[in-house]
Structure 1
Amino acid sequence: MADIRVIIPAINEGDSIGKVVSELPEHVTEIIVADNGSQDDTAENARKAGATVVTETRKGYGYACLKGLEYISKQSKVPDIIVFIDGDYSDYPEELDKVVAPILENDVDFVVGARKKSLREPGSMTPQQVFGNQLATFLMRVLFRSRFTDLGPFRAIKYEKLKELEMQDTTYGWTVEMQLKILRKKMSYAEIPVRYKRRIGVSKVSGTVKGTIFAGIKILGWIFKYSLK
């Protein structure tokens, strides 16, 4: 059986993190919650649910993901697949098997769980999220001949391929950076439709004007940066 490690970046997700951890498939080798300086019981609830908790005090989605990867890099056994999922319970953790299937069955390098409109709970994505995704993936199609339709956070990638990407972004550009580097390096990829529901709590990105604007700037910045290479 494949060695699958799950990384969950989280900040102040005390009400939801236990649900995310407990509903991931039992065959997952290890679940790592990267606590990004939470002021609530996120870390405690994650541990109670069975996760390993690592702490990253520097605020940023990418910082948290990188901390999770740093922890994995120090383990004696090398994983086969890394899965990323958010800690807000907006994804369905039990769909992990569906997301990793193209890697296990067809040797695909990278898979995005695409939040198709028909599978989204009404109101689960804000209008600015929908517009931002559409704009970003449109530009990626035009500039890079991409087939991506979403920048969804629920994703899986072969560990060795992830190391090749040399991820750098420390904030909201993490997802698009990964997908742009996949395209640039001509790695194989697929999208798998996944369900999506209203998150528990308030989003740190789309829930604020500042977060929305900053995320948009970061995402577009990565796209135009790579278009000039």
Structure 2
Amino acid sequence: MPNIKVIIPAYNEENSIAQVINDIPKIVNEVIVVNNNSNDNTAKNATNAGATVLTELNKGYGYACLKGMDYISNQNSKPDIIVFLDGDYSDYPEELIKLINPIINDNIDLVIGARNKNLRAPDSMTPQQVFGNWLATLLMKFIFRARFTDLGPFRAIKYEKLLALHMQDKTYGWTVEMQLNALKQKLTYVEIPVKYRQRIGVSKVSGTIKGSIFAGLAILGWIFKYSIKK
């Protein structure tokens, strides 16, 4: 089996983080929770559930992901596959097997867990999330001829390919930057439909007007930035 590590950015997810960790298949070599300046028991609960817990004081999804990557870069044994997963229990961690299979069996570089409508629980995604995903992937289709239908955070990627992307985004544009970079570098990619349920707690991004606006601007900013470079 390949060496698989999971990175989970987490901000105030004390009520869900242990459930996420406990549902991750045992084939994973290490679960890394990046405590993104939480003011609750996220770190404690993640530690008790068996995860490696890092602290990132700068708030932002990208900051947390980069912290996890930096930690891995300093390990002697490097992973083959990195899986990114949210800490709010909206995804089904056991479906990690579905995401890594195309990498292991078909040599695919990047696998996105697509939150298809027929597998989503009612109201599990806000209207602004649905619209934002539709608009972003539509633009990527017309500008870059991409086949993406979602910017879902549940994803798996070969570690060496992830490093080659030279990820930069610190906040809301992490997922779309990864997909745009993958297109630019001509990585092989597929989408795998995954189930999606209502998250535990309130989203810090799509659950607020401010978060939705900033996330939308970050996503569109990355798309237009890459369209100019094209």
TM-score (normalizing by structure 2):
0.99
Following superposition, the deviation at residue 27 of structure 1 comes to 1.1
**How far apart in 2 are the matches of 1:215 and 1:109?**
26
Deviation >3 Å, runs of 4+: none
Match of 2:32, SS state, is strand
Percent identical: 68
The residue that corresponds to 1:12 in the other structure is: 12
The residue that corresponds to 1:53 in the other structure is: 53
Give ranges in structure 1 of 5+ residues lacking alignment: none
**How far apart in 2 are the matches of 1:191 and 1:100?**
11
Partner amino acid for 1:123? D
**How far apart in 1 are the matches of 2:150 and 2:74?**
32
The residue that corresponds to 1:102 in the other structure is: 102
Match of 1:118, SS state, is helix
Match of 2:146, SS state, is coil
Partner amino acid for 2:184? R
- Count residues with an aligned counterpart: 229
Partner amino acid for 2:37? G
- The answer on 1:203 being equivalent to 2:179 is no
Partner amino acid for 2:91? D
Following superposition, the deviation at residue 111 of structure 1 comes to 0.3
**How far apart in 2 are the matches of 1:140 and 1:43?**
37
Partner amino acid for 2:145? R
TM-score (normalizing by structure 1):
1.00
Partner amino acid for 1:106? D
Following superposition, the deviation at residue 213 of structure 1 comes to 0.2
Match of 2:54, SS state, is strand
**How far apart in 1 are the matches of 2:116 and 2:100?**
18
CA deviations on 1:183-212 (whole Å, 9 max, x unpaired) are: 000010000000000000000001100000
Aligned pairs (5 A) from 1:32-43: 32-43=32-43
CA deviations on 1:84-115 (whole Å, 9 max, x unpaired) are: 00000000000000011100010000000000
The residue that corresponds to 1:173 in the other structure is: 173
CA deviations on 1:22-71 (whole Å, 9 max, x unpaired) are: 10001100000000000000000001111000000001000000000010
**How far apart in 2 are the matches of 1:39 and 1:13?**
10
The residue that corresponds to 2:118 in the other structure is: 118
Q: Please, what is the CA RMSD of the aligned residues?
A: 0.3
- The answer on 1:130 being equivalent to 2:139 is no
The residue that corresponds to 2:219 in the other structure is: 219
**How far apart in 1 are the matches of 2:91 and 2:47?**
20
**How far apart in 2 are the matches of 1:84 and 1:75?**
18
Partner amino acid for 1:64? A
